[in-house]
Structure 1
Amino acid sequence: MKLIPRLLGAAAFAASAMSAAPVMAEGGTLVIVSNQTPRHMNGGVQSGIATAVPSTQIFASPLRYDENWEPQPYLAESWSVSDDGMSVTLNLVQDATFHDGQPITSEDVAFSIMTTKENHPFKSMFAPVESIDTPDAHTAVINLSQPHPALLLALSPALAPIMPKHIYGDGQDVKSHPRNTTDVVGSGPFMLEEFTPAEATILKKNPDFFIEGRPKLDEIIIRIVKDPSSMLIAMENGDADMYPFMAGSQEIRRLKEADHLEVTDEGYAAVGPLNWLAFNTANEKLSDVRVRRAIAYAIDRDFITKALHRGVSQPQRGPIIESSPYFTADIETYDTDLERANALMAEAGYGDGMELTIDYIPGPKEQQQSIAEYMKSQLKKIGIDVTVRAAPDFPTWAGRVGGHDFEMTMDVVFNWGDPVIGVHRTYLCSNIREGVIWSNTQQYCNEEVDSLLNAAAVEQDQEKRKALYAEFQQIIAQDVPIYYINATPYHTAYDKRLINPPKGIWGAMHPMDMIEWSE
């Protein structure tokens, strides 16, 4: 396995953390393995696991959440929601500073939330935010155009990193700002020491973190390992200490057999990860809903979850994860029916067949590439000749899909706790944004869907909100911009000597300031 020179020279690593993980009451190094390369470190303008894991260590947010879905103080020591739900007041801690020593003020909070609103793929997340008042240096009042039930959850670390205005407010495009990758300044428990794309991210302890006694660790190293087998070997041999977002059935079962490791599915409650096949509805062939329905009827969801995934995955039938109170089973689920699929293809004028390409996210083979290859053989049964198109790395895949340069693609998309945050972005007409991954990359637009989602976003009555989302799901099931396959079975493997592993609702996309090594 390749190790970059900087890793070989790291203090705990040099003494061959390759043979044993550090065991200390205080300090030490945590080595995390991942197969996803981050574009940069700024979660305010970029979604996804690759960015969120380091971003939540580098940047602090107004709130953080406990394992019971309850908001907890972070940069905001307290907060209040107005009686009419039209404003939220954040009272900031007094002594927090950025990594460069500059104090954090309400101006930074206002700048960050408005910047995230304008640049983040989740356009609906802060859409109701009209303005932010800053009556003093430690008070920020978020003014809304309408009630926003998901706002407090949206102020979580992975979604609302507070950026220093004195750096990112210099007039440069924040999405391509050079300080997203080098000399990154946040106020979180760790500081960026080194970022080597496709190899490793090294984070050092912030000695001036505003929460006393934290972080417990001296260093976090996120190693990028493209080969899945090498990731498993690293965990088994003690070369790495944590493997989050593990989804392969063989990986899960294999690491469960390692005596020094714990494997858990806790830590993904708010993530709501869906594995699906997306259609580019602007494509000439796929713009016909009959073709999309035919493909849906041709796929065997049960075969994928039971055979390809060896029973580890649970079937997913709609746009809202089935563990959510907003999911409804009263929808067309497209159980396999090849006769009906062939009839739809003939009705659409493709009785003699057609050609399509399918892309997939590189890395998690069982959840992505294996299904894409299965699609190739299965869709042949209804006359569709599928070309499976590989990408050399995640940025290449993201560029194709975000740029609408695809016909069909496998994808993993998160619900992010509340539909307003993670579901709306995929279906709103206003969120068709070329070049932005995990927006409405399907280019799907239905004004009735927009109306339902906009109403659900402000509805305070839980039962009425459920009814709105049920109607939305029924329409999506008929329009089929996406064929839903399974809930991604994320697990985390970690060294048993770790105290406070990431089992909260955001898992590893949360500050790791409380993780430490037992003696």
Structure 2
Amino acid sequence: MSGNKMIRKIESVSMRLVTAFILSFVFLTGTINIVRSDELNVRLGEDFTTLDPAFWQSGADLTMINVLFPKLIEFKSGSDWEYELQAAESIEQVDELTIKFTLKPGLMWTDGYGEVTTEDVKYSYERYIDPELASPIIGDWLPLKEVEIVDKYSGIIHLKEPFAPIWWSTLPYSSGAIVSKKATEEAGGKFTTDPGATAGAYKIESWTPREKTVLVPHDGWNGPEVGFDKITIYPIQEPKSAEIAFEAGEIDITEISIGSVPNYRESLPAGGVLDVRPTADYTFLGINIANEKLSDVRVRQAIKMAIDIDAILQGAYFGVPEQASGLVAPGLVGYTGIMPGARDVQGAKALLDDAGVSNLSLELDVLNTAEFITAAQIIQANLGEIGINLQINQLDSGAFWNVAADRKEDLQLTLNNYTSPPDPSWSTQWFLRDQKGIWNWVWLDSEDFDNLHFAALKETDMNKRSDMYVDMQKVMDESGGFLFIMHPPSVIIYRDTINPGLYPNGGLKLTDFKAN
């Protein structure tokens, strides 16, 4: 696909990304009937902190946004990255700068806010490019010129320039979510945990922070019938605790730790189904270029050279995932498959000597989960071999996700995991210069990287676009600020009494969950 061939029309037709890399392992045992046909109990790794699509931060936020707010198009559940119509009756890209759409009539907002109209779509998308909103996700709609209102249900999205990711990480992802103009304006133009009105398949009946969220069907929904009368979501941070809850029959579906895969493959709880899926997410060690102790690239490269990635994969993740070659996952445009060099302790020591550095003490901030802590301890031992004393700071999710804002350039090392839809632009945008201290915790400051990112957004020749993402990964590697460890698989266990709606990366599409 290249040049002016980027013309699509979708009525009930889906679009497919290459997904040869998708592989699921499913294991079944005997059946027990714990799930009631009208109720579903779900575990998420944390509680949501914001429901505003322009400001979401966590996987829990994303799961809730997907179930509470409609989009013109939405990713299908299944094993292939395809999308389908949701709030739109039809949508058509007539040229590289113009997308026409028509809404399905009769989709209603909760709490008496009326019908979902083109005015809501216009407001939802244009608010991203409002500098006063200061959305950290502005990149998802940066090329937007305006949304033209044709009538109550029809509109035209006008772009200033071609935008390749619009069908992959904008319209069917979080930034494609439609919010109520009236309710959001009443909230002051943005919101956190109270959107005022929603129009998704389910609505929030009650929320007890850090304990549970109860969802019930929204009677103003005009899409496919939902599968449950009640969904209760429990935030349980530690995967091992979630596994115990599943085995006790307290929850019906949960993501589990990668390290539990070998045991569960050998012996599953009765009625359990294990589903292992690859993702485009990436786990990496971030080395803050702006920190005084880490300002010399030789020190950063020495840290990377000293770390035994295979030991991390074996020790923290029981050898289930494979090593990452870089930011971009297999199957996506820009994947290189070129692995970094093997661990070299003597080479790392030589780099430190060349930089005139000795007796270096550093801090590593990590989430306080078993896998991250184990990985951090391996890194600690590795760096000890080259004379670096590493202090590990174990943080809960609330403290961890604010660590860059709190410490800024004083931040040193972080062990992190970022999520990603099936387009690399979603990932590269976080390491632009204007993201320093927001999502760019490495403080990468590269004009070349920024220029390549924006050029790739409007490049519709996939070969040229791939080359740009390869070059961006070279910039990241040469900076010494990134050590990519793996693209963590999503490991889900659920009861065979339900048919879960899972995205290709294992994310929960709660609107598609059904009872068997």
Q: Same fold (TM over 0.5)?
A: yes
Selected match of 2:399 from 393, 396, 399: 396
Equivalent residue number for residue 429 of structure 1:
433
Supply the AA of the counterpart residue of 2:404. Answer: V
Change (3 A) 1:183 1:163: closer
Change (3 A) 1:353 1:90: farther
Contact residue 124 and residue 177 of structure 2 kept, 8 A: yes
Equivalent residue number for residue 24 of structure 2:
none
Query: 3-state DSSP class of the match of 2:140?
Result: coil
CA distance in 1 between counterparts of 2:373 and 2:157 reads: 43
Deviations 1:280-336 (A, max 9, x none): 2211112221111100000011111133321111101211123424211347x1420
1:273-422 superposed matches below 5 A: 273-330=281-338, 333-350=340-357, 352-363=358-369, 365-366=370-371, 368-391=372-395, 393-403=396-406, 404=408, 406-421=411-426
Query: 3-state DSSP class of the match of 1:136?
Result: coil
Selected match of 1:264 from 269, 275, 280: 275
Change (3 A) 1:225 1:329: closer
| Alpha-carbon distance, 1:82 to partner | 2.5
Contact residue 325 and residue 336 of structure 2 kept, 8 A: no
Contact residue 199 and residue 223 of structure 1 kept, 8 A: yes
Equivalent residue number for residue 155 of structure 1:
171
Equivalent residue number for residue 56 of structure 1:
66
CA distance in 2 between counterparts of 1:216 and 1:312 reads: 33
CA distance in 2 between counterparts of 1:253 and 1:124 reads: 42
| TM-score of the aligned structures, taking structure 1 as reference length | 0.86
Contact residue 35 and residue 497 of structure 2 kept, 8 A: no
Selected match of 1:202 from 210, 214, 218: 214
Deviations 1:25-54 (A, max 9, x none): xxx111111231221333332132121112
Change (3 A) 1:488 1:111: same
Deviations 1:152-179 (A, max 9, x none): 22112534221111011236251xx3xx
CA distance in 1 between counterparts of 2:445 and 2:405 reads: 16
Selected match of 1:32 from 30, 34, 42: 42
Change (3 A) 1:355 1:369: same
Supply the AA of the counterpart residue of 1:358. Answer: L
CA distance in 2 between counterparts of 1:120 and 1:417 reads: 22
| Alpha-carbon distance, 1:114 to partner | 2.5
Q: Is 2:199 the partner of 1:187?
A: yes
| Alpha-carbon distance, 1:506 to partner | 5.3
1:105-184 superposed matches below 5 A: 105-117=117-129, 119-153=134-168, 154-170=170-186, 172=188, 174=190, 177=191, 180-182=192-194, 184=196
CA distance in 1 between counterparts of 2:208 and 2:188 reads: 23
Change (3 A) 1:76 1:47: farther
Structure 1 residue ranges without an equivalent (≥5): 1-18
Deviations 1:361-392 (A, max 9, x none): 233x21x111112111111111111110111x
Supply the AA of the counterpart residue of 2:364. Answer: I
Selected match of 1:81 from 68, 90, 93: 93
Contact residue 125 and residue 175 of structure 2 kept, 8 A: no
Moved more, 472-481 or 251-260: 251-260
RMSD (CA atoms): 2.1
Deviations 1:390-437 (A, max 9, x none): 11x21111111344352111110123210122x2222211333x4x4x
Equivalent residue number for residue 10 of structure 2:
none
Change (3 A) 1:457 1:169: same
Contact residue 306 and residue 344 of structure 2 kept, 8 A: yes
Supply the AA of the counterpart residue of 2:57. Answer: S
Contact residue 147 and residue 158 of structure 2 kept, 8 A: yes
Contact residue 296 and residue 334 of structure 1 kept, 8 A: no
Contact residue 60 and residue 157 of structure 1 kept, 8 A: no
Q: Is 2:484 the partner of 1:484?
A: yes
Identity of aligned residues (%): 22
| Alpha-carbon distance, 1:70 to partner | 2.7
CA distance in 2 between counterparts of 1:169 and 1:252 reads: 50
CA distance in 2 between counterparts of 1:152 and 1:98 reads: 25
Query: 3-state DSSP class of the match of 2:460?
Result: coil
CA distance in 2 between counterparts of 1:420 and 1:39 reads: 25
Contact residue 54 and residue 137 of structure 2 kept, 8 A: no
Change (3 A) 1:69 1:329: closer
CA distance in 1 between counterparts of 2:296 and 2:501 reads: 44
Deviations 1:148-205 (A, max 9, x none): 111022112534221111011236251xx3xx32464211111111222221111111
Equivalent residue number for residue 14 of structure 1:
none
| Alpha-carbon distance, 1:235 to partner | 0.8
Q: Is 2:237 the partner of 1:239?
A: no
Selected match of 1:225 from 219, 227, 236: 236
Contact residue 121 and residue 425 of structure 1 kept, 8 A: no
Change (3 A) 1:183 1:472: closer
Query: 3-state DSSP class of the match of 2:245?
Result: helix
| Alpha-carbon distance, 1:232 to partner | 1.2
Contact residue 35 and residue 252 of structure 2 kept, 8 A: no
Change (3 A) 1:473 1:509: same
Q: How many residues align?
A: 475
CA distance in 1 between counterparts of 2:505 and 2:198 reads: 20
Query: 3-state DSSP class of the match of 1:124?
Result: helix
